[in-house]
Structure 1
């Protein structure tokens, strides 16, 4: 990914809230790579929501940097997924890292629901 001007504050440093967007986009792409689209899951009454997130801002990312978000599935529970994510450059220098707990809920009832085994298996395969 590239850091755009719109991702930064007046000093050319990534605004802290934008790291959440970077991590969200990476999890969405991981789900897509596993063969699942969020709109299709929504039609099946499944939605993934952030339950908890812990961030560590290591160093400032800056305008026009080329970075990558590494996303790893750490644990898959009955209705939750635990990811570790990090934003880093090509040399492996980390800019921000996060532990993210995702819950699976019914879109209709907003109650926890089991994650289909196929989703957990494919996420483990790609992540």
Structure 2
């Protein structure tokens, strides 16, 4: 399963039809990735200050399966699918409900793969992910 982060759908997350606006699923996934790193003891601000590098999103692929609506409680997952020298691919799902114990039977509302690349914060040129960081993510 990997990491799971609870999110509630607020008015600001919905569109005129009363369902979660499609782009907001990316925001939910971003929050979950940030909290996943935090749970591993990796703060992005500290990481940038210590290494001079940071992660940036370089590719996304999402499938929308069912809508989420106002006041819904969701779980957003994050798990490392692939790691390379300068990028990671994170698999993510947005699930209905908040029961972490029963994630396997949760309804998948949206699923995606997000590729994040490690770059120099000043030049934005690709850099090699530090081995200690890769080890912490596995």
With normalisation by structure 1, the TM-score equals 0.93
- Map 1:29-108 → 2, pairs under 5 A: 29-43=35-49, 44-90=51-97, 91-108=105-122
Residues 1-58 of structure 1: CA deviation (Å, up to 9, x unaligned): 1111110012210001101100000111111111111111221211101111001000
Residues 51-102 of structure 1: CA deviation (Å, up to 9, x unaligned): 1100100011111011101111011111100111000023410111011111
Q: 8 Å contact 2:118–2:127 — kept in the other structure? A: yes
SS at match of 2:79: strand
* Structure 1: distance between partners of 2:17 and 2:61: 25
Q: Where in structure 1 are there 5+ consecutive unaligned residues?
A: none
Q: 8 Å contact 1:30–1:123 — kept in the other structure? A: no
Give every structure 1 segment of 4 or more consecutive aligned residues whose post-TM-superposition deviation is greater than 4 Å.
none
Report the counterpart of residue 109 of structure 1 in structure 2.
123
CA RMSD of aligned residues (A): 1.0
Q: Where in structure 2 are there 5+ consecutive unaligned residues?
A: 1-6, 98-104
* Structure 2: distance between partners of 1:120 and 1:59: 34
Greater shift in the superposed pair: 77-86 or 88-97: 88-97
* Structure 1: distance between partners of 2:83 and 2:48: 20
With normalisation by structure 2, the TM-score equals 0.86
